[in-house]
Amino acid sequence: MRELVIQAGARHVGGVAVEEITDTGVRLDNGVTIDCDLVLAATGVTPQHRIASDAGLQIRDSRIVVGADMSTSAKGVYAAGDVALAWHTAAGRRLAIEHWQDALDQGAIAGASAAGGTATWHGVPGFWSTIGEATVKYHAWGDGYQRSRMLSHPGGFTVWYEADDAVVGVLTHNADNDYDLGERLIAEQQPAPVPMPATESG
């Protein structure tokens, strides 16, 4: 991934922290100063659950606990998106996925449920992104892995991620068949289609 960033013409500086932002740029804690006209800080967000908490809804890890139909602990009240800690029927556990596609999917489920439907959250989370001329695609539960293996392909790669002998993620570049296969294997809690190394941290 770092090589794709570099190939796109960006400079990658890792393993350092920002010490100061000045009128002329950024000073890092290793003494390097980067001159620039604009600083974009991707610092993350914190779900705002205070109103829900004050209303008596069940909260866990700063998120509103909801079922697979996006129903909260209060009858007739639904929550979706980044603030929701939702039960995922295929994963068999609650997940917090911070991506617009899942927020959109959850919103549709909440609306259907509020209208008396029986929709549930079951799709495997996934997204794609472009880095320069490259497109990378990723399917995963997003809550860790034990082993990974990268396979190089002509003009691309696939990385398989496993936990408890089941695929929990797949990252691809120019390997759409693996991306689609990974989605199915994740949903079915099947092992990776390639031999995996010994357990590692992730």
Are 171 and 138 in contact, with CB atoms under 8 Å apart? yes
pTM of structure? 0.84
pLDDT digit string, tens, across residues 37-95:
999 988 888 889 999 999 999 999 999 999 999 999 999 999 999 999 999 999 999 99
Q: How confident is residue 202, by pLDDT bands cut at 50, 70 and 90?
A: low
How far apart are the C-alpha atoms of 182 and 158, rounded to whole Å?
10
- What is the chain's mean pLDDT, rounded? 94
The label of the residue with tokens 């796109």 reads 8
Nearest Cα neighbor of 122 from 185, 69, 75 is 69
User: Lowest mean pLDDT: which of 46-50, 160-164, 173-177?
Assistant: 46-50
Mean pLDDT of the region 92-115: 95
Give the tokens for residue 95: 């997940």
How far apart are the C-alpha atoms of 9 and 132, rounded to whole Å?
8
Give the tokens for residue 148: 């990974």
Q: Which residue has the higher pLDDT, 163 or 44?
A: 163
In the chain, the percentage of residues whose pLDDT exceeds 70 is 98
pLDDT digit string, tens, across residues 127-153:
999 999 999 999 999 889 999 999 999
